[in-house]
Amino acid sequence: MLLRQLRRSILSCLLLLLTIGSFASSHREAPLISSDPLADNTDVYAFKSPDDPNTITIIANYIPFELPEGGPNYYNFGPNIRYEIHIKNKTTTAADDITYRFTFTNSNQDATTFFNIRLGQQNLKTVYRCEKSTNGGTTWVTIVANGVVPPANIGPRSIEGGVGLGASSYNTLIEQAITTASSGEKVFCGPADDPFFVDLAGAFDVGNFRPEGNKINPPKDGLARYNVHSIALKIPVNLLQKDGKSVEQASTILDPDFVIGVWASASRRQIKSLNSGGDVGYDGGWVQVSRLGMPLTNEAVIPIGMKDKWNAMTPYGNNDLQFAANFTNPELALYMDDSKFGGAVGSLKDLRIQANSLGAFDFRNGRPGLFSLKGSSALTGTALDDAIFGTILLPNNASPRAVDLLPIFYTGVPNLRPYQLATGKGGNPLAAGKPFIHNFLPTLGDMLRLNMAVPATPRNHAKFSTLGLVGAAVLGLTDPMYTNPTLQFIPNMDGFPNGRRLEDDVTTIELQAVGGVVLAAIGLWYDDFVPGGSPVTPQLGRVLGFNAGVTKNDTTFKSAFPFVQDPWRGFIGSSYEPNQKLAVTVQNYNCTTGDITFGRIGGDPGRTVEYRAAGVVNGVYGTSINRQIEFGVRNDPNNSTIILMGRYVGDAASEVSYTFNFRTHCAPARISAESEPLSVRVLGNPSSKTEVTVEVTGATGQSLHFSVINSQGQQFGEHAVPAAGSVERRTLRLGQQTGVYFLEVKTPTDRQIIKVLRQ
């Protein structure tokens, strides 16, 4: 017994030393955390709730690259991990001002089956406890004692079927899992679509970004159709504001007292013991193994040799200052500097850092930037004055990006000169300009900072931009509605890096920022600017036109909490080939009466689509697919098209369009109908394969719509052909099960259904 205790003590000491010596987060971006996915913090979001101006939504995501079909042991929150969301609202305290801690418990309701869900019972059923501290973790109060985590979205039999949970839809499980904490916050914990989007393959192939619109080698969203696990909080502003004030009490939309900093973490016990019989034990203190504040910091800024150390540290106590050189002289800047390695990464050719801004200032790595002004009266009263924050933002003559990149990540940006738009500055970048940001919280640590007084930009606003504050800056510099020097709300002032919305294209924004776009916005123009001329130079245009390839998520976002979309269904899987994104089409059109039938292709089968079209009777949004083109439109020789709009009910962000030309549609339809009737042949029926080839004639020039349905009414695939040739052959997918399938082929004027036997 004594020997066993001694051996355990020695093992504990060794493991503790290993933990200290090799510190252990985003999507598998550090060596140690890449082997511990349940504790891997992938993304953090903090934004003014678009449906409620009095609340802030904070989302922390964990577990990267979740395959929807990854059974039988589907991904879940880990039972021996502390997941925490940290909030800072004061600079006078040394630690968190508010912390939310989540711990999860798993249990099996029917251990006699290998199925995850069967007959209303769920294995690895997960519940959670949420605790809250408002004194730096000294004391904790339980605010949710027994929260429910929805199961994985396995498939129709497991979720909606009588042999499974018998739910009306998966979304009802999400809604049932949303709870209100005893302290007033809305809380959701569970699986979701991964909202992050990036061309991972291009980015990590030595910066081989494939821009949007590249037809030869198009960008690929490396996270498309993968899931994560989300912890989402919808918090009243007065619970986050340091003095308990509501948003109505803010003095302006940039009130400095309404700034918060947000970061998230995961921690594990120091010791894990594997015992005989399959039991696992955990012991020792808690060690932070993952953290995330600003997106992509550890993925693309911190060098690989320091990533695990970064993950193990909090952003307090000046811990992050040891990494400051990676922001004041970032590695990425070397590939945007022709005197270094600018020619080495062709995809970044449009991003070139200012080397001679205003004929005087060089912001390339190792150059002085604005340091030549140090001690000058020109800096008096600006944020760069040593009496204010100059010792941080203008530290020496070899840290040029301390003036722009460092504050974005480490302090937030103050509403002080020179950090105002060039609008109204009269050519002097140090003069007062148009205010557009204040999220200043100088803790000298990496956090996602948000000014809660800034209103939300409606997601259906005509000027909503996924470029966040860069989009706001463009409007403030060029749009006559906003080109006055006074403080006013500019759309997208609530976007990254003032917080982070789900829609924000942070990869493009951060690359533009390294390329000097923030310097240009405040009047430190690019080198091709000619005094007295327009600051909107070709180089500025190239920077603003740059994108990192994938510029939006692979699905829509919800218009209400928790805003993240339902997780992808495992039964469909991550590599399912038929149409994935929602599209709308015209299924049938009667050239004589104008009767028209709308339809959908792809999208989430669990969500209802509504349609509208100008020039159609009752053309406003509604779920009816049967409409009629107005008589006057059909008989006006100047009209030939209608634009069909479709979206998930009430979800403006999901809106898609389809242009239907009813004149060119009718002419070939008449010719085809007169010359040859519609004929459909299935080649190889019965079939022993999971696919069949279909041949269609007699539909020349018409739109064709194929769909395959099994005997239970489940749709397995569909395909649309805008204009058929004289002979159309298509290969369509059948299900894995043998039995009878029905192939439906439709044109605007005809329809045939053929029975297919799968042996």
Do 253 and 80 touch, CB atoms closer than 8 A? no
Q: What is the 3-state secondary structure (H, E, C) of 383-450?
A: CCCCCCCHHHHCCCCCCHHHHCHHHHHHHCCCCCCCCCECCCCCCCCCCCCECCCCCCCCCCCCCEEE
Closest by Cα among 651, 657, 659, 660 to 583: 657
The burial class, CB within 10 Å (0-12 / 13-18 / 19+), for 485 is middle
40 vs 266: CA distance, rounded Å? 7
Domain regions of the chain by residue span: 25-194+226-293, 323-446+457-493+506-546, 583-672, 677-758
Q: What share of the chain is helix, strand, coil (3-state, %, to 5)?
A: 20, 30, 50
Q: Tell me what pLDDT residue 667 has.
A: 60
pTM: 0.75
User: Which regions of the chain are under pLDDT 50?
Assistant: 1-25, 575-579, 668-675
Q: What is the pLDDT of residues 246-291, one digit of tens each?
A: 999 999 999 999 999 999 999 999 877 777 766 777 778 999 999 9
Q: Tell me what pLDDT residue 25 has.
A: 31
For residue 271, the one-letter residue type is: I
687 vs 672: CA distance, rounded Å? 31
385 vs 391: CA distance, rounded Å? 8
Angle at 535 between CA 495 and CA 384, to 5 degrees: 65
Residues 6+ positions from 718 with CB-CB distance below 8 Å: 578, 579, 601, 602, 705, 706, 707, 708
Do 657 and 584 touch, CB atoms closer than 8 A? yes
**How far are the Cα atoms of 33, 295, 396 from residue 271, in angstroms, in the given order?**
16, 30, 44
Q: What is the pLDDT of residues 661-696, one digit of tens each?
A: 888 767 643 333 344 678 888 877 788 788 888 888
397 vs 370: CA distance, rounded Å? 8
Neighbours of 446 (CB within 10 A): 26
The overall longest dimension of the chain from CA atoms, in Å, is: 98
Q: Tell me what pLDDT residue 479 has.
A: 96
Q: Tell me what pLDDT residue 8 has.
A: 42
Q: At 448, phi and psi to the nearest 5?
A: -90, 110
Closest by Cα among 387, 461, 471, 352 to 421: 471
Token representation of residue 334 = 């070397």
Do 254 and 435 touch, CB atoms closer than 8 A? yes
363 vs 357: CA distance, rounded Å? 8
Neighbours of 639 (CB within 10 A): 15
Q: Is the dihedral of CA 149, 154, 160, 166 positive or negative?
A: negative
Closest by Cα among 517, 521, 515, 532 to 359: 532
585 vs 581: CA distance, rounded Å? 13
Q: Tell me what pLDDT residue 284 has.
A: 85
506: phi > 0 → left, psi -120 to 50 → alpha, else beta; which? alpha
Written as one string, the DSSP assignment of 445-496 is S--EEEETTSPPPPTT-TT--TTHHHHHHHHHHH-TTT-SSS----TTTTST
Angle at 707 between CA 704 and CA 709, to 5 degrees: 160
521 vs 536: CA distance, rounded Å? 10
Domain range 677-758, CATH class:
mainly beta
Q: Tell me what pLDDT residue 256 has.
A: 98
Q: Tell me what pLDDT residue 727 has.
A: 76
Q: Do domains 583-672 and 677-758 have the same CATH topology?
A: yes
Classify domain 583-672 at the CATH topology level: Immunoglobulin-like (2.60.40)
Helix axes 506-514, 468-478, angle to 10 degrees: 60
33 vs 38: CA distance, rounded Å? 9
Do 581 and 554 touch, CB atoms closer than 8 A? yes
